[in-house]
A = this chain, B = another copy of it.
Amino acid sequence: MKKLEERIRQEGEILSDTVLKVDSFLNHQVDTALALEIGREFASIFEGKTITKVLTIEASGIQFAMATGIALNVPFVYAKKKKAITQAEKVYTAPVHSFTRQETYQVSISQKYLGPDDKVLIVDDFLATGAALVGLVQIVKEAGAELVGVGCVIEKGFQEGRGLLEQMGVDVHSLARIAKMAPGEIHFTEQQSAERLKEKV
């Protein structure tokens, strides 16, 4: 998604060769118009597949799951990182290690909101080590739901996340794939937009 790559070049802050900050437009302050476009792009990439539910993890996946749910006209579910006292029913859980927060937590989803009839598109802001997404994929499998694919806004292509997901047989699409970055420079992997993908079919 060219527009997203341009925005990352303009506003992204590269703090090291692994840490990219995009909190002026994606995950602290959110450009709602861009988020909607991101949702439409995911819907377009997975066009032709039946999707009954979008799944993400709180907090920074929510705006993109919402946008994708809007584009597909389906509900979304967000996995929780902590159990609330109102969450007493049976849940699916998976352990996730967060490198940006330096902790391991259990993500959980109520068993009421994911089951064998669901065809699930997982959406998140970043794909890097893949920890959160692998956890969500495990939960989808545990629920007996069908996993249609994973859509990530930004992929750090130099980390192991994509490899881990592809080993699990997951169809992964990212809108901006970073091949390499360092303070002052960023290189994206050339990729096909949804439009070009469709022309090929």
Show the binding face of A for B, using Cβ within 8 Å.
15, 19, 21, 23-25, 28-33, 35-36, 58-60, 62-63, 65-67, 69-70, 73-78, 80, 82, 84-88, 100-102, 109-110, 112-113
Q: Are A84 and B100 CB-contacts (below 8 A) given A29-B75, A30-B75, A31-B75? A: yes
3 pairs of A and B residues whose beta carbons are closest in the complex: A58-B59, A32-B69, A59-B59
Instruction: Please determine whether A32 and B74 come into contact, CB atoms closer than 8 angstroms.
Output: yes
Which residues on the B side are within 8 Å of A74 (C-beta)?
32
| Bound-complex Cα distance A30 to B58 (A) | 12
Instruction: Please determine whether B62 and A24 come into contact, CB atoms closer than 8 angstroms.
Output: no
Q: Which residue of B lies closest to A80 (CB)?
A: B28
Q: How far is the CB of A76 from chain B (nearest CB, A)?
A: 5
